[in-house]
Amino acid sequence: MSLLERARRGLRDLPSNAEWAVSQVRGPSRSGDATGEDSVQQQMKRAEDAAERAREAEEEAVQAAQEAKELSDHALEVTQQGRARIKEVDRDTERELQRRIKQAERDAEEMVKQERLAAAEEAEQARQEVYEDVEAETEPVQRDAEEAKERAEELVREAREAMLEAKRLAEEAAEAAQVAAEQARRNAQQFARDAEQQARQAEVRVSRAEEIRRRSEATARQTATGTGQIKTNGDLQEYTKSDLMEIASTIGIEGRTRMAKDELIAAIRAASRESRSGSGV
């Protein structure tokens, strides 16, 4: 039960309560004497005054209760409004918080994006600088490497050509050696045949030389013991030039290899005359 309802109930019950109080006061006065009349009236007056004050108090209470209700309603309304405002503020705060969070996230994303772009630009610039430094350092090395590679390839080509040439020359040399060996074998065989033939010829020449020597000695003796004249068509004409060369060699005639047959005969005859002169014949 609210305060206003309790106050209104008290106002409805107030007349019966006042009558009960007056009846209680008046009841004993009817049985008493006249001396107590003034006292009863005074009590009635006081009771009426009290009842009046009670009514006034009740009215004040009702008014206070009404005001209290109004204040309670106002307070309830204010409370509801406050709660609504709190909810609204909570919603606004939440919206503002979410907005700020989203804005902060967007700002953070933008900042991250900017930082990423700046970092990427710095990284690209640093990479470009390093690339330029590396390019500057590696360019001469690469150039030297290319030149060395070209030289190596040229040397390889030259070596390959030299190997091919050496192989060709080796094959030619082997072929030539084989040919030379075959030729040498044939030459050796030919030399052996020639040597054998020359040995036979030498034996023949030795035999002929011995025969010529004997004949020359006989001729020389005959020349030394003769009349001192040798016929032009005598025995020397019957010899061959080779026989005359042997005779000239035996008696030591110089320049005999360049002489003709007649010159050899004349030189032999001159040597025979000198031999006779030297012997005193």
pLDDT, one tens digit per residue, over 84-121 is 888 888 888 888 888 888 888 888 888 888 888 898 88
Q: Report CA torsion sign: 58, 61, 67, 72.
A: negative
Maximum distance among all alpha carbons in the chain?
258
Query: Which pTM was predicted?
Result: 0.28
Which among 258, 251, 276 has a CA at the least distance from the CA of 236?
A: 251
Neighbours of 246 (CB within 10 A): 22
pLDDT digits 0-9 by tens, 199-245: 565 565 556 656 655 665 665 565 555 434 434 435 688 888 988 89
**Residue 226 CB partners (closer than 8 Å, separation 6+):** none
CA distance 7 to 5: 5
Average pLDDT over residues 171-199: 78
Q: Are 252 and 238 in contact (CB under 8 A)?
A: no
* Cα(39)–Cα(29) distance, integer angstroms: 9
